[in-house]
Structure 1
């Protein structure tokens, strides 16, 4: 398959975007590749690929995924492929971002609201107790299935600095988040594609994004090669980042890194 070539960085040189209070950010385009679930083999490889280009990986893990009792979505998230908090602490120590992706990967919109809120609290408590250096300040709660309601979002935002959910829920007609300012509620919309390989989808959406005036595109991914729903090929991810880091007006960062930068202003 012949890949579409990315728009050259020089074509983006004249773009300008008001940064409001987001003054530490000088780029016009922000991209987050947000990897979910916690596939051990994939997440170590994703981290390694990001390190090759001086980048931090955005890794979101299920709090109970390492437990033998975990059996949600066996087809796409088999427990034997998932890492544990020894792995997540090691990757965090290497500089990568580890964020909560639910307690047991339930669609919280399909269970009673109080049970859903309890699920969020248990997840966040587990991260505080088991992930070194984790704090709610700057943390992003990543809803399973990108499924949420305004009430669940509001509840989660009393515990963390931002939530990530389906782009169709918070962005309406746009694929791209605005560059946020401190005063805005940080309801971040993401997009994904599956269940088959999504290399072509990622390529197309990033190309379209680079042709815009700017903003923040969050693409929701999972594992590499054969792991997870809508995986990407490892070689493709490597080649993708190799091309993207050459673009002057593009910044590739985890969600929490951008959230923390907002908080410092």
Structure 2
């Protein structure tokens, strides 16, 4: 039987939150998925304006330390408001920046983490021909089957906010214990006041430890969807 697994995705790439989250995971022998923009300074999202974001040297270091550093858009555009050609151009520009900045990055082995969890079906199809998989809300509130996701290469997920994030995430973890699915994908953002839907670092630690207490595996998405390359 496949072990029930929880994947924690940390979207947007806030500097302080990233440093704290990486330490929290590493002290437990775990790795996280950090889903980042190629040009966060260009984002028009109100949660991003004036925020401090991690830069490429830190992302390269975290990648060397085993964390998943994954694409989350050029500047967090709402892809369902762009024309198809404009959305494709933005994503290609993002892939090019990742390839230039992150050693070993290849779009065909990357999981694209959709901003705002939504994009038009034709764009999903285009991305599935360009990348390994797409993380996008699919209506199952984050609980799915690893086998189904491996086949479709579309990963359901859930996020919470702006308030009571830890309580909502904890309730979903409890739901997962008795659910038919074997994979829960949680999308979080900043900690200790950074970003939309922030939670306190001890609350995040409590969520991670609760998953461990319940016997769930904690793995980055890429471990489940993408086979390691010969060099890894």
1:229 aligns with 2:196: yes
Select which of 129, 136, 139 maps to 1:158.
129
| Equivalent residues, number | 230
Question: For residues 148-227 of structure 1, what are the structure 2 equivalents within 5 Å?
Answer: 148-168=119-139, 171=140, 175-180=142-147, 184-227=151-194
Q: CA RMSD in A?
A: 2.1
Q: 2:53 aligns with which of 82, 85, 89?
A: 82
Question: Gapped runs of 5+ residues in structure 1?
Answer: 1-16, 18-25
> Would the aligned equivalents of 1:167 and 1:191 in 2 still touch at CA under 8 Å?
no
SS of 1:43 mapped into structure 2: helix
Could you tell me whether the CA contact under 8 Å between 1:35 and 1:220 is conserved in 2? yes
Gaps of 5+ in 2: none
8 Å Cα contact 2:166-2:207 kept in structure 1:
no
Computing the radius of gyration from Cα coordinates, the structure with the larger value is 1
Alpha-carbon distance between aligned partners in 2 of 1:101 and 1:183, rounded to the nearest angstrom: 20
**Separation in 1, partners of 2:227, 2:182:** 15
Residue 76 of structure 2 aligns to a residue in which SS? coil
CA pair 189-54 structure 1, distance change in 2 beyond 3 A: same
Higher helix content, 1 or 2: 2
Report matched runs for 1:40-119 at 5 Å. Answer: 40-65=15-40, 67=41, 70-73=42-45, 75-119=46-90
TM-score (norm 1): 0.81
Runs ≥4 residues deviating over 4 A: 261-264
Q: In the alignment, is the contact (CA less than 8 A) between 1:89 and 1:131 conserved in 2?
A: yes
By relative contact order (CA 8 Å, sep 6+), the higher-ranking structure is 1
> Counterpart of 1:12?
none
**Which deviates more from structure 2 when the two are superposed, residues 55-64 or residues 136-145?**
136-145
Q: Deviations over 1:70-103 (max 9, x none)?
A: 2411x21134411111111111111111000001
One of 126, 130, 137 as aligned partner of 2:97: 126
* Conservation of the 8 A alpha-carbon contact between 1:71 and 1:79: no
Quote the residue 1:5 is aligned against: none
